[in-house]
């Protein structure tokens, strides 16, 4: 199977070298080639509903070991920027990918605000909102 090309020395802090001593399950992140990453980002930006987003989060973990946490920020949520999207630290996950995944999810939430509303509702932030 093709593996992701290594980043130029000094250009990334992904810790790819640490994966050599890890079991194969930890090395599955290297299966995310740049081409596959683009497909993933497009899919994240096209999220249809909250269940779709949760399913994608689970598949990211199952297939690549990437844990994505999405929830409201500590302050008031007025825009999509108020929703916090974090990836757990993981050796081999490129710096650019760590930035691109949350950006793609945010684009998906902006395209389909109903997903963001369901996400906030799932955290009981809209329980008192009339409607």
> 86-103: per-residue pLDDT in tens?
999 888 899 899 999 999
pLDDT surpassing 50 at residue 131:
no
Predicted pLDDT of residue 128: 52
Question: Comparing 18-27, 71-80, 100-109, which segment has the lowest mean pLDDT?
Answer: 71-80
**Which token pair is 32?**
């995310």
Strands (E), the chain: 68-72, 83-87
**Single pTM value for the model:** 0.84
CA 92, distance to chain mean position in Å, is 15
Predicted pLDDT of residue 63: 92
Region 21-42: what's the mean pLDDT? 88
pLDDT surpassing 90 at residue 2:
no
In contact, 4 and 34? CB cutoff 8 Å: yes
In contact, 37 and 95? CB cutoff 8 Å: no
pLDDT surpassing 60 at residue 130:
no
Predicted pLDDT of residue 62: 93
CA 57, distance to chain mean position in Å, is 7
Residue 47's nearest CA partner among 122, 106, 123 is 106
**Residues whose CB is less than 8 angstroms from the CB of residue 78 and which lie 6 or more positions away in sequence, other chains included:** none
In contact, 71 and 119? CB cutoff 8 Å: yes
**Average pLDDT, rounded, for the chain:** 85
**Which token pair is 110?**
């902006």
Query: 30-45: b or e for each residue (b if 16 or more CB lie within 10 Å)?
Result: bebeeeebeebbeebb
Predicted pLDDT of residue 110: 92
pLDDT digits (tens, 9 = 90+) for 44-86: 999 999 999 999 999 999 999 999 999 887 666 565 667 889 9
């Amino acid at each position: 199977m093709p593996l992701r090309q290594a980043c130029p020395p000094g250009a990334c802090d992904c810790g790819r070298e640490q994966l050599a001593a890890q079991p194969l399950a930890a090395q599955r992140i290297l299966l995310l080639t740049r081409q596959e990453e683009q497909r993933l980002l497009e899919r994240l930006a096209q999220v249809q509903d909250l269940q779709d987003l949760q399913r994608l989060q689970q598949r990211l973990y199952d297939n690549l070991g990437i844990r994505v946490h999405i929830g409201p920020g500590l302050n008031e949520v007025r825009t999509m920027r108020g929703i916090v999207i974090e990836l757990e630290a993981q050796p081999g996950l490129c710096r650019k990918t760590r930035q691109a995944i949350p950006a793609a999810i945010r684009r998906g939430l902006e395209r389909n605000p109903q997903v963001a509303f369901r996400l906030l509702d799932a955290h009981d932030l809209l329980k008192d909102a009339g409607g």
